[in-house]
């Protein structure tokens, strides 16, 4: 294994007694809300994300990063613990009557970072609980729809002359759907947080619906294009926030000693994305910009998921014991290679979104195949309130159950089989379920075994459904 440059620098510093040391290993974890990898650096030439692209050019872009569950609270609990949500008890939403709560005994990332000598702060979206489990020393104020303002509000924290290194958890509410509809637009798209008068410090970047690249799992309709134009605008607002944050890191003198991770809790807020474990829900952006000019403008083909973030960050901070209780793995060493060995498989596990939306799914996915187990397949697939109301969905739904919504009909989308097997390479939109194809029988049997082993290893209560029902 190639030793990372920062390691050598820190080692040298330790020997030489210069000022370089633990204090120089700061961390910014930037998490957006319901965003698929729609950015210039992921090959989209319409959307404008120059600052995110610059970050990618200065770091590592993951080509195969996934969430473990495409639901906000559940996924964030995985991000901040490195433990699957079926094992940390954040089975679904934290807020309001959903009222899911992580186990009190779990030590989360901010708590472990604080114990490792870091000062910690969070800003923006939170959506996990209880607070004692996910405690940050500071909660910075800011409009979570205005990442530029949020960045400005971090200025003092970033430039504080506190001797401890910092851990900043920066979460936008963009590009989540918001309330209402875009005034004057005949297709009545959701505004995705965009406002007629914009946001202070943000330059609104508007998109021509005709020039949008419609995701192949979505219906290429005018309504969808108008919705995606709003979503793009929301993403560009995030981009400006990242630009401002990087500028402030540079101003504070910390750009060169800070690891910046950029990702999303899960995919885009459209049926077929969010709440599903289809690729539209699972695929997320992940950029890791390492300090000291490590691995600039590289790609990494490792299959990683959000359970890996906490161990990776702890590893970077020198706070990951060799034997640890996290279910994810540190990919810190893998950052040095384009195609590191041993990263060819990911798992996903979804149980609830809203408390009324019981729909447990367990998934194993390798580079070619993906097996989805829908444990409550007898139920109609439940809809998050924002996805049910989505004009793109309603437009298709109202045309009847045989209408196509992306690769499958409305009826097929709502009524799913117990198992789904897809050849992701040949069929990236997961249109053709191969579960009955005898050619795959051995692979299916092996993948079911893998799911069960994963459940046993990660203490999944739903493992009992193999034997009962």
Active site residues: 72
Near a second copy in 442-461, by CB under 8 A: 459, 461
Q: Give how far Cα 387 sits from Cα of 83, 265, 284, 288, 318, Å.
A: 27, 16, 18, 30, 41
Smallest distance from the beta carbon of 462 to a second copy, in angstroms? 6
Near a second copy in 360-389, by CB under 8 A: 376, 378-380, 382-383, 388
350 membership: H or E segment, kind and range: strand 345-350
Q: Is 89 in the site for a second copy (CB under 8 A)?
A: yes
Q: Is 105 in the site for a second copy (CB under 8 A)?
A: no
**296 vs 378 by CB, closer to a second copy:** 378
Smallest distance from the beta carbon of 351 to a second copy, in angstroms? 8
Q: Is 417 in the site for a second copy (CB under 8 A)?
A: no
Of 61-69, 99-107, 398-406, 438-446: span binding a second copy (CB under 8 A)? 99-107
Query: Beta-carbon neighbour count of residue 297 at 10 Å?
Result: 11
**7 vs 388 by CB, closer to a second copy:** 388
Q: Choose, by CB under 8 A, the member of 1, 17, 97, 439 that binds a second copy.
A: 97
Place of tokens 């599903």: 276
**75 vs 85 by CB, closer to a second copy:** 85
- Show the tokens assigned to 276: 């599903």
**448 vs 465 by CB, closer to a second copy:** 465
What is the distance of C-alpha 248 from the center of its chain?
Answer: 24
CA distance 270 to 216: 12
Listed in sequence order, the residues at least 6 apart from 323 whose beta carbon sits closer than 8 Å to its beta carbon are: none
Write the burial class of residue 238 (CB in 10 Å: 0-12 exposed, 13-18 middle, 19+ buried).
buried
Size of the site for a second copy (CB under 8 A): 24
Listed in sequence order, the residues at least 6 apart from 170 whose beta carbon sits closer than 8 Å to its beta carbon are: 28, 29, 30, 31, 122, 123, 124, 147, 150, 151, 154, 245
Smallest distance from the beta carbon of 105 to a second copy, in angstroms? 11
**296 vs 356 by CB, closer to a second copy:** 356
Residues within the interface to a second copy (CB under 8 A): 89, 91, 97, 99, 101, 103, 354-356, 358, 376, 378-380, 382-383, 388, 459, 461-462, 464-465, 468-469
């Amino acid at each position: 294994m190639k030793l990372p440059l920062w390691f050598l620098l820190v080692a040298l510093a330790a020997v030489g007694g210069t000022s370089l040391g633990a204090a120089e290993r700061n961390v910014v974890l930037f998490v957006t809300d319901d965003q698929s990898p729609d950015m210039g650096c992921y090959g989209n030439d319409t959307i404008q994300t120059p600052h995110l692209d610059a970050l990618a050019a200065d770091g590592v872009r993951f080509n195969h990063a996934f969430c473990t569950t495409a639901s906000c609270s559940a996924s964030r609990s995985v991000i901040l613990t490195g433990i699957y949500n079926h094992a940390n008890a954040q089975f679904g939403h934290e807020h309001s009557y959903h009222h899911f709560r992580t186990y009190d005994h779990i030590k989360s990332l901010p708590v472990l970072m604080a114990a490792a000598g870091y000062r910690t702060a969070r800003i923006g979206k939170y959506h996990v609980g209880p607070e004692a489990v996910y405690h940050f020393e500071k909660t910075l104020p800011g409009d979570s729809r205005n990442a530029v303002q949020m960045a400005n509000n971090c200025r003092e924290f970033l430039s504080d002359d506190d001797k401890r290194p910092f851990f900043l958890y920066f979460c936008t509410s963009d590009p989540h759907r918001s309330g209402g509809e875009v005034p004057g637009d005949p297709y009545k798209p959701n505004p995705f947080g965009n406002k007629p008068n914009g946001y202070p410090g943000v330059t609104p970047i508007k998109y021509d619906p005709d020039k949008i690249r419609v995701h192949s799992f979505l219906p290429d309709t005018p309504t969808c294009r108008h919705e995606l134009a709003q979503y793009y605008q929301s993403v560009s607002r995030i981009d400006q926030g990242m630009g401002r944050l990087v500028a402030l890191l540079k101003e504070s003198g910390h750009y060169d000693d800070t690891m910046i991770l950029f990702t999303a809790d899960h995919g885009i807020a459209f049926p077929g994305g969010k709440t599903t474990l289809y690729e539209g829900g699972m695929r997320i952006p992940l950029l890791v910009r390492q300090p000291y000019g490590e691995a600039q403008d590289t790609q990494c083909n490792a299959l990683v998921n959000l359970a890996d973030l906490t161990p990776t960050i702890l590893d970077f901070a020198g706070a990951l014991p060799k034997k640890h209780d996290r279910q994810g793995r540190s990919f810190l060493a893998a950052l040095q290679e384009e195609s590191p060995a041993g990263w060819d498989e990911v798992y996903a596990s979804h149980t609830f979104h809203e408390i009324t939306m019981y729909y447990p799914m367990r998934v194993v996915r390798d580079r070619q195949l993906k097996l989805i187990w829908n444990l409550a397949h007898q139920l109609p697939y439940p809809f998050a309130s924002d996805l049910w109301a989505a004009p793109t969905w309603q437009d298709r739904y109202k045309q009847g159950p045989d209408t196509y919504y992306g690769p499958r009909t409305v009826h097929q989308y709502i009524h799913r089989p117990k198992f789904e097997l897809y050849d992701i390479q040949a069929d990236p939109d997961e249109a053709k379920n191969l579960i009955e194809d005898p050619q795959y029988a051995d692979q299916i049997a092996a993948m079911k075994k893998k799911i069960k082993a994963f459940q046993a290893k990660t203490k999944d209560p739903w493992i009992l459904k193999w034997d009962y029902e």
